[in-house]
Amino acid sequence: MSRITYREEPCKSALNRVAGMAFAWSLNPYTGCAHRCAFCYVRAFEKRADRPSDARYGTDIRVKTNFVEVLRQELARRSWKHEAVAIGAATDPYQPAESRYRLTRRTIEALAEFRTPFHIITRGPMILRDLDVLVAAAKRVDVHVNVSIPTLDPKVLKVMEPGVAPGTRRIAVVKALVEAGIDTGVGMAPILPGLTDGRESMAAVVRAAREAGATSVWARGLYLQPGTREHFLEALESAWPELAATYARLYRGRAYLPREVDEEIRATVKELKRKEGVADRRAIRLAPDPGAEPAVPEQLGLGL
């Protein structure tokens, strides 16, 4: 792999409006992701922006140096309605750059201070470094963490998620977060036909999630847009050439799996969740004080 270049550049805005999702806004302190997942849908965005979506993706990371300062200004506006925010919708907030820049950690502190509920999406064990601020935040606002674990198969993870910790390590992250009282679920995404869609493969993840105390589990099939498609199929052809024809058939003229295939995956996971008894069994359930009021600009010395 090529050496990663980190570009320190300011941003003009932090909050991104989102439509058609469970959350209203998203936050991404970094652009690009050193995890370099072969199936990452952000590769498609990069291709449309005329940036590398191939093997070079993840070697050029933009660090939004003023991100938290801009975010705090946006959260301090009187028009801010304290709607739910997702951290990491387009890049992992706990990729290696976070160990140095700590933008995600300070983002959590800002959201909690301004009484804004948030949802973190990550594959990165580094989130455990921030247990203290997560616990503090969960006492002020609704906090949910989703740890992405599509499979526990080490070969599949090594090929498809080359810059990410093993699945077993991520299961340990779920356990630590839940034991601290954080509402933490497991996202089995994406499920890869012929590789991780077998019942036993999916059952292994659901079982491990249940044993770790995960409060929820969900699954989604592979999504292949131009940009993502080319790189993913190249990785697939290299490691599992016998599956090339299957993917050509499943994704001919489409970016999503055929509906019946995706519905079968979801139904299987739903059944496995019921069988394993996945539910919120936290011994400690952190919850915000319903009577607390959001901070206002004057109290925070922003004078907006």
Segments making up each domain of the chain, as ranges:
5-276
User: Are 57 and 47 spatial neighbours (Cβ–Cβ below 8 Å)?
Assistant: no
Question: What is the CATH architecture assignment of 5-276?
Answer: Alpha-Beta Horseshoe (3.80)
Amino acid 300: pLDDT? 34
With tokens 């034991």, the residue in question is: 179
298 is written with which tokens? Answer: 């004057």
pLDDT under 50: residue ranges of the chain? 295-304
Amino acid 297: pLDDT? 37
pLDDT tens per residue, range 205-258: 999 999 999 999 999 999 999 889 999 999 999 999 999 999 999 999 999 999
Amino acid 292: pLDDT? 57
Query: What is the C-alpha to C-alpha distance for residues 279 and 273, in angstroms, rounded to an integer?
Result: 9
Query: What is the C-alpha to C-alpha distance for residues 140 and 138, in angstroms, rounded to an integer?
Result: 5
User: At how many degrees (to 10) do helices 167-179 and 131-138 cross?
Assistant: 40
Q: Which residue, among 149, 146, 156, has the nearest Cα to 269 in the 3D structure?
A: 149
Quote the pTM value. 0.92
Amino acid 291: pLDDT? 61
Instruction: Give me the residues paired with residue 143 across strands.
Output: 118
